[in-house]
């Protein structure tokens, strides 16, 4: 779908959309051939411009029948304008209309760009494998035009467009089946970032064996798909920011649970157990696409967790790159084994002051927070506050959870330095506590458990049922607010 900005309303548009605020609705002049009839129709439908309310109807405009959409937003809320764009698109995506024109004269430049942003985010769908999709179910919108927007809207859109492209990459990676996206092919899907100026480094399984990544490789040893680690570095500061902020993503491209095999029901969902890695890749595309003035490295540890005759067994002891030994109690607690080696390599290689990992790590976080928030665990109040603020501003919400010595003893092993699971209690906390043992003194660290937020079982404001793209908007906003001048 193409986004355009114009001074006047296109004469041949199929859909006219108006975004109104409750406080301005009574005096809002609808630029229609018969505004009084439109208002009466809206009144009959009980449209009162309450925030989040929307209404679609048909009207004669310029001698042709067009669809009219009214969407109400709160005063000055960026997330509302993004949702409004998504709502407009969702109402007409498959209706047969091709063009949307959004009246933007009553919006500021930022809000107009946010409406376009929401529409583009919501327009993404995974239809590539649906060969018998009925014509009436196929998306038909090709263009959206914001007309009458103030100066600066188009420039603001360019930034949002880059972020939307990053979100699209994340949705693509998370949505693809595991026979299409596996460690090697994930790397290949990221190669195009080099064209944007991203420096790409790839470690294969032999490289990681030489480095002593016994935890990560232990997870991968049951699969015919060899493990990979990809590092994507973007320096938009020209060397001025010496130390990068580092993002690390869990990339288990499919998780059977290994020998501790998962129940069959719902196992197909485990294609998105690489949601953390997907979010990191999408963030790097967004930052490079908008030429962010920051130095950032994104790292993805990529494995497939399978139960063949060579697979890791419960009770095995592995040695991590950091030298710590881990007793593997449950092979389905594999994400932390991947992350501990990736986190240590990241710190050894890039010496960051701040490191943030993202992972679909535990089902326990879904029990705690549902799908509304991702869990935030950190050793730094300052970093936590910055991430929570970025979450509120971007719509990718976080809720802080505890870590501390009281939980540490729950993962002590009787035969090794640490075991990979604790008791049933505090499952997401002990998983975070495991990772904290691999963070060097003085490094600000945050772990985001995104198991409940990367996938939507129903349509959302900026996604169709399926991959949500969670994490890209959050990390991009975190970088913009804290590392760019």
Asked if residue 447 and residue 359 are part of one domain, the reply reads yes
> How far is 403 from 364, CA to CA, in rounded Å?
15
Residue 440's CATH number: 3.40.630.10
- Give the number of residues written for the chain: 485
* Per-residue pLDDT, 255: 98
193 and 170: one domain?
Answer: yes
Task: Kindly report which listed range (22-31, 169-178, 279-288, 409-418) carries the lowest average pLDDT score.
Answer: 22-31
Please write the tens of the pLDDT for every residue from 299-340.
999 999 999 999 999 999 999 999 999 999 999 999 999 999
Establish how many alpha carbons lie within 13 A of residue 337's alpha carbon, considering only the half-sphere containing its beta carbon: 36
For residue 30, being part of any structural domain is answered with yes
At 74, is the pLDDT very low, low, confident or very high (cuts 50, 70, 90)?
Answer: confident
Please state the rounded mean pLDDT for residues 341-355: 98
Q: What is the mean pLDDT of residues 357-378?
A: 97
- Whether residue 411 lies inside any domain: the answer is yes
Please check whether residue 86 is in contact with residue 35, taking contact to mean a CB–CB distance below 8 angstroms.
Answer: no
Helices (H), 24-152: 35-44, 78-92, 109-123
Domain co-membership, 57 together with 165: no
Note the helical H segments in 373-412. Answer: 381-394, 405-408
Asked if residue 378 and residue 421 are part of one domain, the reply reads: yes
Measured CA distances, 461 to 14, 91, 141, 174 (Å): 22, 11, 17, 18
* Residue after which a domain boundary falls, among 93, 120, 151: 151
Q: How far apart are CA 463 and CA 123, in angstroms?
A: 7
- Angstrom distance (rounded) from CA 404 to CA 400: 13
pLDDT of residue 75 exceeding 80, the answer is no
Same domain for 182 and 223, yes or no, is yes
- Tell me how far apart the alpha carbons of residues 148 and 161 are, in angstroms, rounded to a whole number: 20
Average pLDDT value for residue range 401-426: 96
Among 117, 151, 185, which residue terminates a domain? 151
* Beta bridge pairs of residue 251: 302
Token couple for 380: 């730094």
Provide the annotated active-site residues: 262, 336
Q: Determine contact, residues 262/357, Cβ cutoff 8 Å.
A: no
- Residue 223: inside a domain: yes
Is the pLDDT at 446 greater than 70? The verdict is: yes
Q: Is 173 in the same domain as 111?
A: no
pLDDT band at 479 (very low <50, low <70, confident <90, very high): very high
Q: Tell me whether residue 187 is in a domain.
A: yes
Please report whether residue 230 resides in a domain.
Answer: yes
Instruction: Specify the pLDDT at position 196.
Output: 98
Per-residue pLDDT tens digits for 170-211: 999 999 999 999 999 999 999 999 999 999 999 999 999 999
Report pLDDT for 78: 81
Above 90 in pLDDT, residue 107?
yes
Query: Domain check: are 35 and 76 in the same one?
Result: yes
375 and 462 housed in the same domain:
yes
Among the listed residues 238, 298, 246, 297, the one whose alpha carbon sits nearest the alpha carbon of residue 485: 238
Three-state secondary structure call for residue 69: strand
Mean of the pLDDT values across residues 10-39? 93
Would 363 be classed as within a structural domain?
yes
Rounded CA-CA distance 190/184 in Å is 10
Cα separation values, 275 from 253, 305, 368, 408, Å: 9, 15, 19, 26
Region 271-282: mean pLDDT is 98
Greatest alpha-carbon pair distance for the chain in Å reads 81
Last residue of a domain, one of 102, 127, 151: 151
Distance of CA 75 to the CA centre of its chain: 26
Asked if the structure places residue 203 within a domain, the reply is yes
- Tell me the CA distances in angstroms from 406 to 278, 378, 381, 410, 414, one per residue in order: 33, 15, 18, 8, 18
Confidence of residue 77 (pLDDT cuts 50, 70, 90): confident
How confident is the model at residue 76, as a pLDDT? Answer: 65
- Stated as kind and residue range, the H or E segment containing 302 is strand 295-305
Based on the fold, state whether residues 296 and 347 are members of the same structural domain.
Answer: yes
Residue 156 lies in a domain: no
pLDDT tens digits for range 140-167: 999 999 999 999 999 999 999 999 999 9
Q: What kind and span of H or E run contains 5?
A: strand 2-6
Rounded to whole angstroms, the Cα distance separating 376 from 452 reads: 12
Q: Give strand pairing partners of 355.
A: 246, 445
Q: Are 165 and 72 members of one domain? A: no
Strands 143-147 and 99-103: parallel
Pairing label, strands 245-255, 354-359? parallel
Nearest of 301, 300, 199, 297 to residue 245 by alpha carbon:
297
Same-domain pairing of 219 and 127:
no
Domain count, the chain: 2
Q: Verify that 146 and 165 share a domain, yes or no.
A: no
C-alpha–C-alpha distance, residues 15 and 341, integer Å: 52
CATH assignment at residue 122: 3.40.220.10
* The pairing of beta strand 325-327 with beta strand 295-305: unpaired
Return the pLDDT at 384: 98
Supply the range of the domain harboring residue 468. 161-482
């Amino acid at each position: 779908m193409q986004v355009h900005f114009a001074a006047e309303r296109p004469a041949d548009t199929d859909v006219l959309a108006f975004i109104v605020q409750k406080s301005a609705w009574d005096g809002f002049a609808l630029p229609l051939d018969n505004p009084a009839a439109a208002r009466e129709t809206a009144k009959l439908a009980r449209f009162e411009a309450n925030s989040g309310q929307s209404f679609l109807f048909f009207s004669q405009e310029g001698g042709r029948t067009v669809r009219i959409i009214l969407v109400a937003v709160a005063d000055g809320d960026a997330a509302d304008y993004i949702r409004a764009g998504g709502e407009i698109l969702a109402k007409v995506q498959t209706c047969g209309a091709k063009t949307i024109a959004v009246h933007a004269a009553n919006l500021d430049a930022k809000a107009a760009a946010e409406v376009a942003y929401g529409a583009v985010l919501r327009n993404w769908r995974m239809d590539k494998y649906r060969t018998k999709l009925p014509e009436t179910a196929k998306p038909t919108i090709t263009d959206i035009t914001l007309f009458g927007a103030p100066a600066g809207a188009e420039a603001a859109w360019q930034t949002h467009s880059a972020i939307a492209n990053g979100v699209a990459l994340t949705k693509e990676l998370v949505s693809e089946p595991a026979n299409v996206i596996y460690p090697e092919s994930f790397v290949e899907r990221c190669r195009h970032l080099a064209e944007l100026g991203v420096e790409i480094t790839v470690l294969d399984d032999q490289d990681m064996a030489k480095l002593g990544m016994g935890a990560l490789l232990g997870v991968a040893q049951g699969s015919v798909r060899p493990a990979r680690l990809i590092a994507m570095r973007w320096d938009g500061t020209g060397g001025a920011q010496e130390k990068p902020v580092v993002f690390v993503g869990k990339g288990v491209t499919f998780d059977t649970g290994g020998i501790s095999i998962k129940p069959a029901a719902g196992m197909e969902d485990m294609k998105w157990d690489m949601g953390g890695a997907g979010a990191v890749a999408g963030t790097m595309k967004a930052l490079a696409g908008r030429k962010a003035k920051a130095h950032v490295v994104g790292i993805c540890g990529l494995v497939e967790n399978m139960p063949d005759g060579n697979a890791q067994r419960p009770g095995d002891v592995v040695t991590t790159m950091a030298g710590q030994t881990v007793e593997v109690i449950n092979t389905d607690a594999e994400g932390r084994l991947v992350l501990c080696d990736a986190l240590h390599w990241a710190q050894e290689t890039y010496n960051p002051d701040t490191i943030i990992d993202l992972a679909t790590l535990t089902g326990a976080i879904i029990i705690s927070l549902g799908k509304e928030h991702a869990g935030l665990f950190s050793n730094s109040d300052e970093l936590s506050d910055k991430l929570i603020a970025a979450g509120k501003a971007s719509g990718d919400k976080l809720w802080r959870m505890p870590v501390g010595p009281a939980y540490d003893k729950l993962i002590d092993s009787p035969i090794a330095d640490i075991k990979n699971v604790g008791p049933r209690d505090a499952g997401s906390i002990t998983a975070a506590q495991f990772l904290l043992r691999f963070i060097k003194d003085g490094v600000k660290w945050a772990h985001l458990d995104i198991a409940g937020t990367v996938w939507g079982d129903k349509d959302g404001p900026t996604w169709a049922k399926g991959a949500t793209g969670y994490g890209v908007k959050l990390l991009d906003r975190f970088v913009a607010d804290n590392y760019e001048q």
